[in-house]
Amino acid sequence: DKSEPITSRGMDIFGNLLTFNSTLNKETGARYLFDNTRANGVHTFHAQRMPEFSFLLLNALLGFTGFEVTTSSSFFYDPAAVSAHVNAGKVYDYYKRVFNRDSLDNNGMKLISTVHVGEKWNNAGWNGKQMIYGDGDGQLMISTSGGMDVIGHEMTHGVITHTADLIYEGESGALNESLADIMGSFIENKTGDDLWLLGEDIYTPNIPGDGLRDMKDPGSVPLSGYTETGYYPDHYNDRYLGEKDNGGVHINSSINNKAAHLITEGGTHYGVTVNGIGKQKAEKIFYRTLTHYLTASSNFSDMRQAAVQAARDLYPDRNGEPSVEVQAVMAAYDAVGVH
């Protein structure tokens, strides 16, 4: 075989000089962003900024994943591709280390990412088969593959596809979005309030400290991105009931996101006090909830019951009393009005 693994270097979108796994074609000397040391490969492509609808069409019809990112030296010159490639490897490593999950399907499936999708596209996504990243317009967003939480979010959409496969609309869609936010944030693993911001590294480069969403204080972020007035809800009674955003999948995810924040850090919300149990326990509860109890049509009430059951499995009742972990889950869903 003419190809062999080789380490290469390159800069990510923030100018960090990184070393990572790639593949060398011994005959031509060309290198590719194919890391064949993880699962059946972490392969990164680019779409040459072709319109996103044409990329998505070619991908759906022909399985087109874009063009190979290559270099004739030991250095890769596409920062968006380097960011996507390195971050995808880190997300693979997280799921393997924390949950012993081998890739998105737990069966070593190849992880395919394509960058430079669309023209100044302020988006990132999971199209059911692979991760895709836009470059942003430079004002609202920069290359979305630069966000560790963004990549964790997109790849968790992939985990969700291969587990509960939550229907991407209405309440099940909001749970899909929320679990992607929760795992993406935990994978990025920042400290303090930054732990709870989504996309902050690639969002509004000229405005510090903001993000697409805020799990700790959802109501601090306006819904302008959905041409709606108002702010993200932090209580079930304030959930969005309109048609936009697939029936509010990003908008209403903030209700479950707030529950996740309370379970992890604790706090008093609408007069309900929750004693937090920390990230290590919270991530186990949410992963077990997703992989053992949620189904495609689960709604918010199902989510509460599933999370309580997952917490009870992991942290059983003591002397007939719910554990502090189970109590935290119950109180958090009480606090956001989900029963």
Helix (H, G, I), strand (E, B) or coil at 194: helix
CA distance 66 to 56: 10
Binds Ca ion by CB under 5 A, chosen from 149, 177, 214, 334:
149
Interface region with ligand S7B, contact rule CB under 6 A, candidates 43-51, 144-152, 287-295, 316-324: 144-152
- The SS3 of residue 168 is coil
Task: Classify 270 in phi/psi space as left (phi over 0), alpha (psi -120 to 50) or beta.
Answer: left
Among 131, 212, 282, 330, interactor with ligand S7B by CB under 6 A: 212
- Answer whether 95's CB lies under 8 Å from 153's CB: no
Q: Please report whether residue 153 would count as binding ligand S7B according to CB under 6 A.
A: yes
* Count of residues of this chain found to bind Ca ion when the rule CB under 5 A is applied: 3
State the minimum distance, in angstroms, from the CB of residue 226 to ligand S7B: 11
What is the C-alpha to C-alpha distance for residues 138 and 132, in angstroms, rounded to an integer?
Answer: 18
* H or E stretch at 121: none
Based on CB atoms, which residue is closest to ligand S7B, 153 or 304? 153
Q: Does 150 bind ligand S7B (CB under 6 A)?
A: yes
Q: Which residue is nearest to Zn ion (CB)?
A: 180
Q: How far is the CB of 278 from Ca ion (least distance, A)?
A: 18
Residue number of the CB closest to Ca ion reads 149
Residue at token pair 């209403």: 252
By CB under 5 A, is residue 197 in contact with Ca ion?
yes
Q: Kindly state whether residue 144 participates in binding ligand S7B, applying the rule CB under 6 A.
A: yes
Annotated active-site residue in 43, 85, 250, 269: 250
Of 175, 155, 170, nearest to 306 by C-alpha is 175
Amino acid (one-letter) located at 154: E
Q: Which of residues 177-206 bind ligand S7B (CB under 6 A)?
A: 177, 184, 198-199
Distance, CA of 190 to chain centre: 14
Q: Which of residues 210-249 bind Ca ion (CB under 5 A)?
A: none
CB 177, min distance to Zn ion, A: 5
Which of the choices Zn ion, Ca ion, ligand S7B, none does residue 12 contact, using the CB cut-off of 5 to 8 A by kind? none
> Can you say whether residue 116 is alpha, beta or left, with left for phi > 0 and alpha for psi between -120 and 50 degrees?
left
Q: Which residues contact 161 (CB under 8 A, 6 or more apart)?
A: 104, 126, 128
Task: Supply the minimum distance, in Å, between the C-beta of residue 317 and Zn ion.
Answer: 35
Tokens of 290: 């997703």
Q: How far is the CB of 121 from ligand S7B (least distance, A)?
A: 9
Distance of CA 292 to CAs 1, 69, 285, 308, Å?
Answer: 41, 38, 10, 12
What does the per-residue mask of binding to Zn ion show for 160-199, with x meaning CB under 5 A? --------------------x-------------------
Q: Which of 46, 52, 85, 154 is catalytic?
A: 154
Q: Is the distance from CB of 65 to CB of 33 less than 8 angstroms?
A: no
| Number of CB atoms found within 10 A of residue 153's CB | 29
Min. distance of Cβ 267 from Zn ion in angstroms? Answer: 25
Q: Which is nearer to Ca ion, 149 or 325 (CB)?
A: 149
For this structure, is 27 an active site residue? no
Write the CA distances from 116 to 9, 55, 111, integer angstroms: 20, 10, 17
Is 162 marked active-site? no
Coil vs helix vs strand at 206: coil
Binding site for ligand S7B (CB under 6 A): 123-125, 144, 149-150, 153-154, 177, 184, 198-199, 212
Q: Please give the positions annotated as active site.
A: 154, 250
Binding site for Ca ion (CB under 5 A): 149, 188, 197
Binding site for Zn ion (CB under 5 A): 180
